[in-house]
Chain A
Amino acid sequence: MNKKTIVIDILRYRPEMDEKPFTQSFEVPYIEDTSILEALQYIKDHLDSTISFRWSCRMAICGSCGLMIDNIPKLGCKAFLRDYYPNKISLEPLANFPIERDLVVVMDDFMQKLESVKPYLIPGDNACMSSGEYQQTPLQMEKYKQFSMCINCGLCYAACPQYGLDNNFIGPAALALLARYDRDSRDAGSAQRMKILNQEEGVWGCTFVGYCSTVCPKKVDPAAAIQLLKVESSKDYLIGLFKPD
């Protein structure tokens, strides 16, 4: 019988009861292919039912279960006990977000950032349903495909030092999403989105640390998206010098 165990420290905070966050330790059975999420479920089912965390799909696509594991933003469903054993594991809510309760963070600001970048196709004059689908070659799709892979897990905001300093910065996921639509051959909304890019909180807030891309579980590479957008923003500035509105 397998009696190996591993210790997990969890940052707890229940706003109605606790004045400030505190750490609670749990000992769970060690099985190498158990994910951090499954360990949390074990804790909730068997050790302390009051602990709260978000989860759903268990397969790294719904984006619910982001948290800090040993101070690194990760998806709980895609990190495994085997990666830490025999050491103790520390779990905390995503950095740079306010804590709602336990491992649950307040997502309101993140959602507003996503909403602010006009993340939808802004069709040109020739858009017409009756003529069937738009033509878009694999090469044209390649220009934005990577940036369409974001699962909105928020890990990149937890990793972004700039967002941590000033949360007016639009941030990596939302800017990658902006790039996703801006670079889509079917979209004609660049001019409308340029205002968002050019503002102080837009691309120029980014100091290119690149940690957002390191932690991204879907290889979206928001840092690259932001660099590409900086080029667009510069071009727009230069054109504006010669051709003012």
Chain B
Amino acid sequence: MSGGPADRAVLSAANISMRYRRGGKLSGSEQIQALDGMSLEVRSGEILALVGPSGSGKSTLARCLAFLERPDSGEVGFQGEAVPWEDVLAMRGLRRRVQLVFQDPARAVSPRFTTEQVLREPQQAWQQRASPQRALDWAQLLAEVELDPKVLPMRARSLSGGQLQRLVLARALVTEPDALLLDETFSGLDLSLQAKLANLVLGLVESRGLTCVLITHNSALAEQLADRSLVLSQGRVVDERSAPDASTGGTS
């Protein structure tokens, strides 16, 4: 991978703020400032890590960058242009290009769906509007995430945790996105599985030329995988760490 002229922003956020209201006996009616004037750029082809404790706004930021949530103020941009939140049809087209993968795959799929149904859903949603219709190469898709084609007719509830995690990765790839947002995808996994999945994602980023945003609280993992890390705290970017350049500094 070479940086150079391809360093344009795939995703960007300019001064975005997001506030949630929470009501409750203990907390009173309190407002939570999830994002507080955050700005960042995700460059094409890079792996960017967002590191921070829970409550620092990582997941809200991910939802905004995946165009699932509109910030209260500020602008979210895709490939240099501000996202047209009002244009519902255009937004649908945009959402397929940025895919979000969550931490707990068991809660991200219906346990009664078969693997094939899980993968068909985004395909159908996308192809209703796409023309010409495109057939999906199941075998190739499953091979990409190292899943056995035998799982296609199996129901999601009968898959192991590792298989499910691969399945939700495959689902995210169905719509051929430009960017992949991984929200704590590697958290709470066994060491050996975490390593296998991280390697799998590295392979996908390389073979598909994806841009990847890795949200994690594991800073060792972020350092091993990412080109750049942003440290978030209380809805702001408080620190930026770039990996040293291979040509100038540091040996492995």
Please determine whether chains A and B interact with each other in the same assembly.
Answer: no
Binding site for B on A (CB under 8 A): none
Chain B interface (Cβ within 8 Å of chain A)?
A: none
